[in-house]
Amino acid sequence: MNLPPESDIPESPASTSSDTTLHGFGSLIDQLLSGQQAVTGLASRLNEEKAALERMVESYVARQERATSQNQALLTAISTFAEKDGSVKAQVRSLLSDRDARDASLKSAVLQLFQDRADQDAKASSEIEELFTQSAANVVEMRSAVESLITDSDMVSFFQVEQSRKY
């Protein structure tokens, strides 16, 4: 049977409305598929951005943990340094105090040594003066004894002998 080409077949009013409806459904389905693809693409993109944000948050948390750990280590080091510094300062103060005490003791000993030396010198000077005084007294006493032993006539003859020696 020879059928005319489809374009030559007049469309019946019933077939036109069902084609339009089918065509409308096809267009609607295409739109729905396109919307579904857009939503799927958007969901995929949101998942990717969510994963990127999660990685960024994890990186931030890791950095914060490292920073906290480093801060804690720094605080521990500063605390240890402060304790050691305080201990060193206390030891230095103690050493300086000991040195000052030794210096004061040495100064006192040196001053006492000088005082003892001055006392000994004064005592020796006094004893020397006393010996000179005794010696002078002895000379005077001896002279007096010699003079009493020598008579006046002996003196005259002594002086004459002395005078003759000179000439």
Chain segment 43-52, per-residue pLDDT in tens: 999 999 999 9
Which pLDDT score, from 0 to 100, does residue 141 have? 87
Classify residue 101: in a domain, yes or no.
yes
Model confidence at 145, pLDDT cuts 50, 70, 90, reads: confident
What phi-psi label fits residue 95: left (phi over 0), alpha (psi between -120 and 50 degrees) or beta? Answer: alpha
The predicted-structure confidence for 50-98, as pLDDT tens digits, reads as follows 999 999 999 999 999 999 999 999 999 999 999 999 999 999 999 999 9
Rounded-to-integer distance, Cα 96 and Cα 103, Å: 10
**Which is more confident, 142 or 83?**
83
Which pLDDT score, from 0 to 100, does residue 14 have? 47
Which pLDDT score, from 0 to 100, does residue 7 have? 46
Q: What is the pTM of this model?
A: 0.43
Classify residue 3: in a domain, yes or no.
no
Classify residue 152: in a domain, yes or no.
yes
- With a cut of 60, say whether residue 15 has pLDDT above it: no
Number of domains in the chain: 1
Please report, in angstroms and rounded to a whole number, the separation of the first and last CA atoms in the chain.
Answer: 208
- With a cut of 50, say whether residue 105 has pLDDT above it: yes
Mean pLDDT for the chain overall? 84
Rounded-to-integer distance, Cα 85 and Cα 92, Å: 10
Classify residue 17: in a domain, yes or no.
no
Classify residue 8: in a domain, yes or no.
no
Classify residue 98: in a domain, yes or no.
yes
Rounded-to-integer distance, Cα 125 and Cα 123, Å: 5
Classify residue 148: in a domain, yes or no.
yes
Count the neighbouring beta carbons within 10 Å of the beta carbon of residue 23: 10
- With a cut of 50, say whether residue 29 has pLDDT above it: yes
Which pLDDT score, from 0 to 100, does residue 156 have? 56
Structure tokens at 104: 């004061």
Domain hosting residue 137, numbered range = 22-166
Classify residue 14: in a domain, yes or no.
no
